[in-house]
Amino acid sequence: MKRKDFTRFIDTIFAAKSGEEMLCTEYFDKLRYDVDLQLSGQNAETLLPEVNHHMHQCPEYEEVYLALLKIVGKENPADPSK
Ligand SMILES: [Zn+2]
């Protein structure tokens, strides 16, 4: 990798990080939808790639997502036979 390209690469990472806080709430709006997809057995990672990309960068989002998945999963246990 050329030095110039490397600098741009770093800039991109930091730009993404600085935008993180602001965008996080937008991703939280999609959280329920993401969980619904997951519970209905659909591939949320393919259908909501930007949400999953955010989740990998954002431990807070992942934590809430997993907690919600657990709660909703208990309320509506997935039943493939129905
Ligand atoms: Zn976030």
- Is residue 6 included in any domain, yes or no? no
Please report whether residue 12 resides in a domain.
no
Residue 21 Cα to ligand 1 middle (Å): 6
Residue-level pLDDT at 42: 92
What is the 60 CA–ligand 1 centroid distance (Å)?
A: 6
Question: Which residues lie below 8 Å from residue 56, measured CB to CB, with a gap of 6+?
Answer: 62
In a domain, 59, yes or no: yes
Domain count for the chain, please give it: 1
Global confidence as pTM? 0.60
Concatenated DSSP letters for 26-68? Answer: HHHHTHHHHHHHHHTT--HHHH-HHHHHHHHH-HHHHHHHHHH
Residue 12 DSSP code: H
The pLDDT tens digits for 4-52 are 787 777 676 656 655 545 568 888 888 888 998 988 999 988 898 888 8
The rounded Å distance from CA 81 to ligand 1 centre is 35
Q: How far apart are CA 31 and CA 25, in angstroms?
A: 10
Residue 1 falls inside a structural domain: no
pLDDT at 7: 77
pLDDT of residue 29: 83
In a domain, 36, yes or no: yes
Range(s) of the domain holding residue 36 = 20-75
In a domain, 46, yes or no: yes
Residue 80's pLDDT band (cuts 50, 70, 90): low
Q: Is the pLDDT confidence value at 72 over 80?
A: yes
